Amino acid sequence: VQLQASGGGLVQAGGSLRLSCAASTRTSSRYFMGWFRQAPGKEREFVAAATWRGTRYADSVKGRFTISTDNAKNTVYLEMNTMKPEDTAVYYCAAALRTSDSAVYYYQSSIYDFWGQGTQVTVSS
């Protein structure tokens, strides 16, 4: 599975961006999708996941970001609203195989099998 992330850019604080991640093949039956981000000098962190048991969000983005999927297009989106300078990072999409463990540990990068190349998001104050 190849993942292609897009939609990053520069936005002012309080603004919005929508990221997209297109998969090369149909993933909805075997995988679920997630978004992670990595800021300079920091570790990669969980942002959101669209598991078969529902959507999950990091506390830092809850209420501001929305993850959604379009299975017909093999695409997952991350709608980001009310953005803050601390949202500045490279954002990565990833696909994880559906297992009982992955449903629980969706926030851990180690359970994801495929990763996109990342897209830069910069929020100016």
pLDDT digits (tens, 9 = 90+) for 38-97: 999 999 999 999 998 999 999 999 999 999 999 999 999 999 999 999 999 999 999 999
Distance CA 74, CA 44 (A): 24
Distance CA 27, CA 119 (A): 21
Residue with tokens 């990669």: 44
Distance CA 61, CA 115 (A): 21
Residue 101 reports pLDDT greater than 90: no
Distance CA 17, CA 123 (A): 10
